[in-house]
Amino acid sequence: MRASAFNTRLLENFRLWCHKLLANMLPQLSSIANEKLCEVNRRLDTALNNMSQGLCMFDSEGRLVLCNERYIQMYRLSHDAVKPGCTIRELLALRKVCGTFQGDPYEYSTNLLARIAEGKTLRETVEALDGLVTVIVDRPIEGGGWVATFEDVTARRQLEHERDRGQKFLNTIVENAPIPIFVKEASGLRYVLVNRAGEQFWGVSRAEMIGKTSHDVFPKEEADLIAVRDQQLLRSDQPVVDEREIQTPRNGIRSIVSRRLTVCDEDGKSRYVVGVIQDVTERKLVEKRIAHMAHKLIHLNRTAIAGVLSASFAHELNQPLGAILSNAEAAEVLLTANPLNLCHLKEIIADIRRDDQRAGEIIKQVGGFLKKGDEIELQEFDLSDAVRCAFHLLDHEAVTRGVVLGVRQAKVALPVRANEVHLQQVILNLAMNGMDAMARCDPGSRKLTLETAWAGDTDAEVSVSDSGIGVPADKLERIFDALVTTKPQGTGLGLSIARTIIEIYGGKIWAENRPGGGAVFRFTLPLAKTRAA
């Protein structure tokens, strides 16, 4: 190496540069002595040649002072051609031959020298034909000349490209996802991302949202709620999924399921609130419509039952009415007698009053059974009372059909929470089915029994057992499905409605065949108070 023969000024400049660049590697350079120069140079060579960057040093005339091994490799030059003293222009010409430089060597070197003379550092990224991407930095050094470093960033570039592609890919997905997605930065809770579905959902363009807080976008009441929810989310740091109604800026009130979570940036500090929204308004409407239809069906079924029982109701009502009329007319006749038998008349009036009350009770019972109120209202009542009411409603029908109707009630109260009329309806459905099942049995053997009992510690049970023909084994499971019937004239709705009602109140319903013949239908409901209470 002829470096030792070069003037010491140049070396000193290089030393200063090296001190900056390789301070950790070569601390001993600061105390270099002339006699150790050779040793130092050797070490310098080693250090230079092990750098990952290419490195060249030029004097103020643009002549090469030194270059490292990496530079020669990077641009596929030969060791013979690259010698200290050759000019930058010659080097560029060599590289052009090797295909690692595309510009005009003269023009390039002239420009470069001019810029260096101005004391400016040059930085540029150059992409060669073979795909090699380098970052070149030309940095002037004190006293003239410059150091050029060449960093191969091809791999990094590729990674960056891939990252950019991945980012774009994700952005496309987020943008086109059919569900509203938004991101807010955690510190100021300002929107930083809103996708297209979000714009449509809120009825607000992203231009109106990005950089804004929810108070800038939403009605105050809603914005207050959002702010509170955001704070809760940030405090707990746990993802939250919940269902609620939201007042959108321009799309009215919508039902949503919102999933929100916090995420951290790469630096682990800046946090974001990410929200994904599912608009369930339509689904809710459909659910509401289905529920409404179910209610209508329940009511229709009750009307149908009442239709079947109407003869019985009329009969039952006409008993007291008939008694009242006869008593009144008897009294009229007795009033013409002389002397008046006041005791007898008083007795008659008392009877009229009693029969009038009885008629009123019957009307109340039937009216109560038919009332439109089909809300899933929860009253607490004794299940045995519902069974008793059903028994009264069925009493005459059973007599007409030659059925002996029995009732066995639990000795203690069975408090349940439901709409009592709905449960009477279930019992009537089961009972009428039972009577239908006995229609072709011997008149003396038709028995229908309603029974209430504890079922475990938490449930109450009602059973309706008949002495009829039973249920075909293959239909026991399906008999509660809509439109499944074992009767020639059955609609297949009664039991399905019974199940719907029981399930609404959290109960279970099923059918069994009795060992001695006939079927028993049972349902259970959770007790309002447990047995121990």
Partner 1 sequence: MTSPVIHIVDDDVSFRTAVARLLQASGYEVALYESARQLLEKPLDLEPGCLLLDVRMPGLSGPELQARLANTENTLPIIFLTGHGDIRMSVRAIKAGAEDFLSKPVSRKTLIEAIQRALVRQEEARERNLRLGSLRALVATLTPRESEVFALIVRGKLNKQIAHELGTSERTIKAHRHAVMQKLKVASLAEAVSIAERIGILAVASGDEPGGT
Interface residues with partner 1 (CB under 8 A) are 311-312, 314-327, 329-330, 332-334, 348, 351, 354-355, 358, 396, 399-400
Q: How far is the CB of 519 from partner 1 (least distance, A)?
A: 24
Measured from the Cβ of residue 337, the count of other Cβ atoms closer than 10 Å reads: 10
Residue 200 or 319 with smaller CB distance to partner 1: 319
Q: How far is the CB of 495 from partner 1 (least distance, A)?
A: 28
Q: How many residues does the chain have?
A: 533
Strand partners, 275: 182, 260
Residue 240 or 348 with smaller CB distance to partner 1: 348
Q: Report the sign of the C-alpha dihedral through residues 48, 49, 51, 53, in that order.
A: positive
Residue 186 or 398 with smaller CB distance to partner 1: 398
Residue 242 or 329 with smaller CB distance to partner 1: 329
Q: How far is the CB of 466 from partner 1 (least distance, A)?
A: 18
Q: Could you tell me the CA-to-CA distances from 164 to 5, 157, 160, 224, 267 in Å, in that order?
A: 51, 10, 6, 37, 18
Q: How far is the CB of 503 from partner 1 (least distance, A)?
A: 36
Q: Could you tell me the CA-to-CA distances from 475 to 37, 383, 435, 465 in Å, in that order?
A: 105, 28, 18, 17
Residue 300 or 337 with smaller CB distance to partner 1: 337
Query: Residue 65 CA to chain centroid, in angstroms?
Result: 68
Q: How far is the CB of 348 from partner 1 (least distance, A)?
A: 7
What distance in Å separates the CA atoms of residue 40 and residue 54, rounded to the nearest whole number?
20
Q: How far is the CB of 317 from partner 1 (least distance, A)?
A: 8
Q: Which long-range contacts (CB under 8 A, 24 or more apart) does 84-88 make?
A: 84/2, 84/3, 87/61, 87/62, 87/63, 88/58, 88/62, 88/63, 88/64, 88/112, 88/113
Q: How far is the CB of 449 from partner 1 (least distance, A)?
A: 16
Residue 131 or 444 with smaller CB distance to partner 1: 444
Residue 160 or 329 with smaller CB distance to partner 1: 329
Picking from 54, 65, 73, the residue whose alpha carbon sits closest to that of residue 1 is 65
The tokens for 464 are 């309706």
Q: How far is the CB of 488 from partner 1 (least distance, A)?
A: 20
What distance in Å separates the CA atoms of residue 202 and residue 218, rounded to the nearest whole number?
9
Measured from the Cβ of residue 349, the count of other Cβ atoms closer than 10 Å reads: 13
